Chain A
Amino acid sequence: MSDAAQTSKPRGLNINWRYIWYQISRSPLMMIGSSIIAIVLILVIFAPLFATHDPNAISLRERLAPPSWDHFFGTDEVGRDLYSRILYGGQQSIAVGFFVVVLAGGIGTLLGAFSGLVGGRLDTAIMRLMDVVLSVPSLVLVLALAAALGPSLQNAALAIAIVRIPFYVRLARGQTLLVREMAYVTAAETFHAKKRHILRWHILPNIMSPILVQTTLDLGNTILLASALSFIGLGAQQPTAEWGAMVATGRNYILDQWWYSAFPGFAILITATAFNLFGDGLRDILDPKQKAR
């Protein structure tokens, strides 16, 4: 078994695009996930190109109009085009997602890797602190933080990022403990390399794969969480278009004007799902062993 497996085994992030494409093409879910992400990102980033109306243009004559050729997804209570608002609103939601994973992922990874590498009392102290944060249900903590910081999308993002940090710390520390046992780290110890060198040179590059997977999975969750905060009024404020906020206002009209909350809700659903599919697929690609067995 091992005999044959050895001949084609590009590993990790030393990027071989052909190999990555080969893997993606073999996993239908990954294909679907990455296609949706690509479409969503293009639509959202180039929203001005695809939008049919100004997202904030009020037209009381056309308020709460059902989907039509003029307004693909209908309009809201002040006659704004929902299709265009969803495109622009996606900018907010996805920006929050990336902001959170970059901030939480970056800080959490560094802290976790550092903690795992130095070990001892400092490690114990850091991990106990993380345990305390983790022991509070994260939604409750996010609510408390967001409320304390004041209702705005930026503060909501910050609150989510703070709450997500311990997850990355734990993940990074666990991976660090594994990598630390590798022979190349022992080799670095024999020439008395500094801890900083070991961290930058060996630990960080080698713990990146699982963390990357975690961040993609987290993107979906964060978009959901940000929408939830906006939904209860702690996130984006009027008139900013944001998916969660749109679902929240649309809720008032759900019985008669279903399209108002259905389309933004669907945007949240499809984006979060796509990132989750992508993350799962990425895990398989970065860890081929898991799949082969």
Chain B
Amino acid sequence: MSNHVMQLNDVHVRFPIGANWLGRPKGFVHALNGVDLTVRRGKTLGIVGESGCGKSTLAQVLMGILNPTEGRFSSTADKEAGVQIVFQDPQSSLNARMPIWRVITEPVFARKRTSVAELRNIAVELARQVGLREEVLDRHPHEFSGGQRQRIAIARALSSDPDIIVLDEPTSALDISIQAQILNLLTELQQARGITYIFISHDISVVRYLCDEVAVMYLGQVVEKGPVEDVLGAPQHPYTSLLLESVPTMGVAGDFGQPLTNTDLPSNRNLPPHCYFLDRCTFAGSECRQAQSLSPVGGEKDHVARCVRATSGDLNMREGKENGAC
């Protein structure tokens, strides 16, 4: 059995916008522009990027509720219930009209009419696993805090015994002290059940803590991916470096010297023919005027970046930084 549970080859997703009088679309929003990814069994893959990078479209493809316009997506997970999701917003992800034992067992109930007693047994067991007391099972979602709601959402995802759980910013709406509890719970569950996680986040420090591998996305493409220590420890793509530098930290206060000039993404209606990051890149050269492909960094085959200058060894980031800033 292969240890690859999901494979994406050159996946494109386009959404038509508007329509002319013939009913033909006037244009397209290019949400994903050639994504290659491999999800390994029992591991955690982090997907990092800012708004507009295609994270949520990618999540929909991974969950099987959106088909790629182009490219190939294959998954060994069970079609019906193999992939589950935990959403960012614990307010809207739980149906406020249902008691939580119903919420937790919904995936079971929706596919097969199961007796109430059996459903309750399942709910009790799952509640225990996510650290909820049995007495609270008859309450409704609004009686719970954000952290507890997220536990309920995790229990619901577990109830169909999935191979893969997509975690879509599961802690970004939570307080720090609660975030730690939820991250610990996720780690425990993974160790106990061997689930594969796909962790979508903009929070670099959480990704660094939780993930084995990470893919950095920009405008519908993976611009860099590889083992977490490599990508976040020694970033090769200029965008990854920018992202890392931008993250506020608890260390010594950052320098508030020269502000960044351009933070806007190129339009996803008309994709640029050159490297997507060209307009914001401080290292751009003539080679960057052509489309870029993912190539291995140095001798490592797991760590790849979509930057011709970085992968050909032409780009010395540190030197560039000294020249670029100030």
Contact = CB atoms under 8 A, between A and B. Distances in A.
A191 B153 CA distance: 13
Nearest to B168: A183
A191 B106 CA distance: 9
Interface residues of B, number: 27
A28 interface: no
Contact of A192 (B80, B87, B140, B142): B80
A13 interface: yes
A191 B95 contact: no
A106 interface: no
A172 to B, nearest CB: 16
A: interface residue count bin: 20 to 34
Most interface-central of A183, A191, A202 (chain B CB within 10 A): A191
A27 interface: no
Nearest to B84: A190
A205 B95 CA distance: 9
A236 B153 CA distance: 55
Contact of A190 (B65, B97, B98, B140): B65
A171 interface: no
A30 B171 CA distance: 41
A187 B162 CA distance: 13
B89 interface: yes
Given A14-B142, A184-B92, A191 B97 contact: no
Nearest to B99: A14
B126 interface: no
B167 interface: no
A138 interface: no
A191 B81 contact: yes
Interface stretch (A4-12, A150-158, A160-168): A4-12
Contact of A206 (B80, B87, B97, B160): B97
A98 B85 CA distance: 43
B217 interface: no
Interface string A83-103: 000000000000000000000
Contact of B85 (A182, A190, A197): A190
B142 A13 contact: no
Given A192-B80, A201-B110, A187 B97 contact: no
Nearest to B140: A14
Interface string A123-139: 00000000000000000
A254 interface: no
Interface string A173-206: 0000000001110111111111001000110011
A10 B140 CA distance: 10
Contacts of A187: 84-85, 87, 93, 153, 156
A190 B157 CA distance: 10
B95 A190 contact: no
Interface string B71-88: 000000001110111010
Given A201-B106, A201-B110, A12 B63 contact: no
21 contacts: A9-B142, A12-B97, A12-B142, A14-B142, A182-B93, A182-B95, A183-B87, A184-B93, A184-B94, A186-B85, A187-B84, A187-B87, A190-B64, A192-B80, A193-B111, A194-B110, A201-B106, A205-B97, A206-B95, A206-B96, A206-B97
Interface of B: 63-65, 79-81, 83-85, 87, 89, 92-98, 106-107, 110-111, 140, 142, 153, 156, 160
The 3 closest A-B pairs by CB, nearest first: A193-B110, A205-B97, A183-B93
Interface of A: 9-14, 182-184, 186-194, 197, 201-202, 205-206
Given A13-B97, A190-B84, 8 more contacts: A12-B96, A183-B92, A190-B85, A191-B84, A192-B79, A201-B98, A205-B95, A206-B97
